[in-house]
Structure 1
Amino acid sequence: MRKVGILAQGFVDWGGGVDFLRGISTSLHFADPQLEQHVLLPLRGPRVVLEAVRERVKRLVGRPTHAAHRPGRAHVERTFAETGARIHAIDLGPAALAGAVRRLGLDALLPAIAPLPDDLGAPWVGYLFDFQHKHLPHFFPDAERAHRDAAFARMLDAAGALIVNAQDVANDVRRFYPDARARLFALPFNAAPGADWFDQDPATVARRHGVPGPYFIVCNQFWKHKDHETAFKAFAALAARHPALSLVCTGATNDYRYPGHFEELMAYARREGVADRIHVLGLISKLDQVALIRGAIALLQPTLFEGGPGGGAVSDAVSVGTRSIVSDIAVNRELREPTVSWFEASNPEALAARMDEAIATDDGARADPAELFRQGEARRVQCGRRMLEAIEFAASLRASRSRGLP
């Protein structure tokens, strides 16, 4: 295996997707530094133009779109700089991918967010995110649930090898699709800091964003299933006893399924008299977000569902040595990090108790960055090896089928 194509389609539309691709790329790099990586970024061509027009129409008619959350190319380039991956602007669709495979001499492609054709010219590894629509169906319209069911079935039928972000997701595949043909590869937790994540002073960044004093931080989009409500209630319970304490929230404030969700949360904060101590920063730069996590007493992750342990926010906190207080849902229980503690999901009293403990024991100390880099590299090596197993399996399966073997 010499050259691997990193498929950016479906991931570069949102910050969490870019972070996921960074994990893919750095893990492969640490597992095999000689591996040549090529990021296939859908940036130009007639299909890209058509999709951009569709996104503009969606915005005009008020339909949900990722376009407003799409990181710029400069951010994407910084994301892959530490692995030496080469970025190629291509069109959308299988024809453009097949052309890139031939032109670049790629030996494999991953992660495919939708099934790819057999005649692409290289084996590919699929990706399945999670089964939130099965566990929390009330958060999804009937049509969206049906669409996800059909898309997952197609992927599980077409993919020879499939990576998922947690053992919990693999368990769900077996539960909901017991006859699925794809070989599953559950990726291990692979938190690791970026090369420039310790360059900024957290106190300076906090002042720039108007964040005073000690604070907790939540780094989630305001989707209803992220359960900011529990975090707000826990903070309100602590506010009177800790008058200098603040709560910082980063991430987009819209949820197309519940358009009034954010305003309902802020109305609650106003009624409790804590609205001026909850600092909603919206979408900020990744480096500013990481600096604020480093300066926090702890990161709060009250989520009701994730496709990977703790989601991206906990991965970032673990990477920089900040403690995390995390809901005890099954996927989060896969975390085995000393900086992580749990509370009963949807229970603000339990979260407030954990927050009180964190305040009482916080001395501002953090692990040495050199040690955090070492730990992160070790995690990425294990994750990269798992992905190489998936690639090798997909390649061997393709070779067998080309010889007419079952």
Structure 2
Amino acid sequence: MTIKFNKIAILGNGFSNWGGGIDFIRFCVNALALVCNDSTKLFILLPDPEYTTIVTKTRRFLSPYRRMVISLLTGQRPVFYRYKPFSRIQLTDSFQNIEGNVDIVFYSPREDIASVVASIQADVIIPSAYSLGSSFPVPWVGYLYDFQHKYYPDYCSNEEINKRDTQFSQMLAEASAVIVNAADVKKDIQKFYPQTKCNVFDLPFSATPIESWFEASSEDLTQKYKLPKKYFVICNQFWIHKDHTTAFKALAKYTKVTNHQDIHIVCTGNTVDSRHPNYFSNLKNTVNKLGLTDRIHYLGHIPKKDQIDIMRGSIAVLQPTLFEGGPGGGAVYDAVAMGVPAIVSDIPVNREIEGHEGLLFFKASDADDMAAKMIAVQNIVFVKQGKVKLLSAGRERTRKFGLRLLEAIEHVMKADNIDA
């Protein structure tokens, strides 16, 4: 039985408020655009970040004070900050240069998802970060990110742990299929929810460059961001499990061993960890104590093309993360896609990408081992891959990724036909 569909809705709710989520949606759209025929229309559905009401304005105004009160009640030092959501322009920029029949639809967060999907007459939805319910009128594929709260409960509040457990249980009870970013996550579903009847589709590693990434920048990024001449780069949001601390300690050890004072670390990514509001300020204190204040650069969230160009100009990408839902996280996807060396923590999920050119693994949370790899990567001659080869390799990975998405789509549409 061949399932036919003309319109696919890619649901951005739950993804469009963080950099890695946006990258994941872009991967999905790229892949589907490649493997679907020309008659298939793709719609990226995004909650409008510029939609405001008196209620939402009030909530945004009061949210920093609410977080400060919670910090005081839980014995933490209160930090005042305002979370700034991505703008329409930033979101639209993230989905440029996708080859295919693709439209972006911004909808009011107050609008019911079912009515949004009905307005575009979508045949299927993929992915949904939240359960849409077993009686939702359109077939849908769910998405589960990872089980960090099971392995690192100290990184989450009790409220967050309970919320995740409830969300995951509901998803696996109501979805006929979910996609996950790694075989490791699939194993965890089997471990923590052995009774689930939900079909789990683990997605293949899909490091994929975009052709425009190879174009020369129209700006002098060295001047724009005041970049040092020699640097490693970390492209992670400043969440506690990303473990920037180990990378900074590794730079201090690297300096002590080599006596090279001219090597820096450039960091891109949002500096706010809503679960640990003191994390970034504590991290900067650590940097000061290590004597690295002038050698660590924080650029914040920057345009994707700028991030890629900065990555290409680096010695290597550093990925010290302690936990990921996908191999290497988005930073290593981009590094492999562009042929940039990467030094990656050896956690099980990251080991799923062993064998790719330019990857060096270090013992997670071990600054000495990471420093050794930072020295080693500069003494290894990597085979330089050109644009044509990188694009070709990326296209093949994208094709496999897209076909896996279609497997999940066909599964839920068949299940919907059977139920009907």
Give the alignment's TM-score, normalised by structure 2: 0.88
Selected match of 1:137 from 153, 156, 171:
153
Is 1:276 equivalent to 2:294 in the alignment? yes
Between the aligned partners of 1:356 and 1:232, the Cα distance in structure 2 is 14
Change (3 A) 1:258 1:8: closer
CA contact (8 A) 2:182 2:325 kept: yes
CA contact (8 A) 1:202 1:291 kept: no
Is 1:77 equivalent to 2:81 in the alignment? no
Give secondary structure in 2 for the equivalent of 1:221. Answer: coil
Selected match of 1:88 from 80, 105, 110:
105
- Residue of structure 1 equivalent to 2:13: 9
- Residue of structure 2 equivalent to 1:21: 25
Is 1:344 equivalent to 2:363 in the alignment? yes
1:311-340 C-alpha deviation (Å, 9 max, x unpaired): 011111111110111000010001142221
Between the aligned partners of 1:67 and 1:89, the Cα distance in structure 2 is 23
- Residue of structure 2 equivalent to 1:396: 414
- Bigger shift: 273-282 or 121-130? 273-282
Selected match of 1:147 from 142, 145, 163:
163
Is 1:321 equivalent to 2:334 in the alignment? no
Between the aligned partners of 1:264 and 1:42, the Cα distance in structure 2 is 33
- Residue of structure 2 equivalent to 1:30: 34
CA contact (8 A) 2:9 2:44 kept: yes
CA contact (8 A) 1:202 1:292 kept: no
Between the aligned partners of 1:38 and 1:67, the Cα distance in structure 2 is 31
Between the aligned partners of 2:113 and 2:50, the Cα distance in structure 1 is 12
Task: Tell me the CA shift for residue 221 of structure 1.
Answer: 1.6
Change (3 A) 1:319 1:276: same
Change (3 A) 1:259 1:74: closer
Task: Tell me the CA shift for residue 257 of structure 1.
Answer: 3.4
Give secondary structure in 1 for the equivalent of 2:63. Answer: helix
Selected match of 1:58 from 48, 59, 63:
63
Between the aligned partners of 1:381 and 1:52, the Cα distance in structure 2 is 43
Between the aligned partners of 1:141 and 1:368, the Cα distance in structure 2 is 46
Is 1:353 equivalent to 2:372 in the alignment? yes
- Residue of structure 1 equivalent to 2:403: 385
Between the aligned partners of 1:80 and 1:5, the Cα distance in structure 2 is 15
Give secondary structure in 2 for the equivalent of 1:283. Answer: coil
- Residue of structure 2 equivalent to 1:190: 206
Give secondary structure in 1 for the equivalent of 2:299. Answer: strand
AA aligned to 1:58 is S
Between the aligned partners of 1:314 and 1:128, the Cα distance in structure 2 is 20
Give secondary structure in 2 for the equivalent of 1:68. Answer: coil
- Residue of structure 1 equivalent to 2:44: 39
CA contact (8 A) 1:15 1:71 kept: no
AA aligned to 1:23 is F
Give secondary structure in 2 for the equivalent of 1:37. Answer: strand
AA aligned to 1:77 is T
Is 1:267 equivalent to 2:285 in the alignment? yes
Give secondary structure in 2 for the equivalent of 1:217. Answer: strand
Between the aligned partners of 1:49 and 1:6, the Cα distance in structure 2 is 29
Task: Tell me the CA shift for residue 79 of structure 1.
Answer: 3.1
- Residue of structure 2 equivalent to 1:68: 83
Once the two structures are superposed, the pairs formed by residues 248-263 of structure 1 within 5 Å of their partners are: 248-263=266-281
- Bigger shift: 73-82 or 169-178? 73-82
Task: Tell me the CA shift for residue 194 of structure 1.
Answer: 2.4
Between the aligned partners of 2:27 and 2:370, the Cα distance in structure 1 is 29
Between the aligned partners of 1:33 and 1:204, the Cα distance in structure 2 is 40
Give the alignment's TM-score, normalised by structure 1: 0.91
Q: Give the aligned CA root-mean-square deviation in angstroms.
A: 2.5
1:253-299 C-alpha deviation (Å, 9 max, x unpaired): 23333333323332232233221111122222221111110111100
Task: Tell me the CA shift for residue 344 of structure 1.
Answer: 0.5
Give secondary structure in 2 for the equivalent of 1:372. Answer: helix
CA contact (8 A) 1:234 1:349 kept: yes
Change (3 A) 1:129 1:225: same
Task: Tell me the CA shift for residue 369 of structure 1.
Answer: 1.6
CA contact (8 A) 1:223 1:254 kept: yes
CA contact (8 A) 2:238 2:273 kept: yes
- Residue of structure 2 equivalent to 1:301: 319
Change (3 A) 1:119 1:264: closer
- Bigger shift: 189-198 or 259-268? 259-268
Between the aligned partners of 2:299 and 2:61, the Cα distance in structure 1 is 25
Task: Tell me the CA shift for residue 148 of structure 1.
Answer: 0.7
Q: Percent identity?
A: 38
Task: Tell me the CA shift for residue 53 of structure 1.
Answer: 4.8
Task: Tell me the CA shift for residue 239 of structure 1.
Answer: 2.0
Once the two structures are superposed, the pairs formed by residues 361-372 of structure 1 within 5 Å of their partners are: 361=380, 366-372=384-390
CA contact (8 A) 1:13 1:69 kept: no
Is 1:157 equivalent to 2:176 in the alignment? no
CA contact (8 A) 2:134 2:175 kept: no
CA contact (8 A) 2:49 2:88 kept: no
- Bigger shift: 206-215 or 383-392? 206-215
- Residue of structure 2 equivalent to 1:205: 221
Task: Tell me the CA shift for residue 48 of structure 1.
Answer: 7.9
CA contact (8 A) 1:198 1:369 kept: yes
Show structure 2 runs of 5+ residues with no match. Answer: 71-79
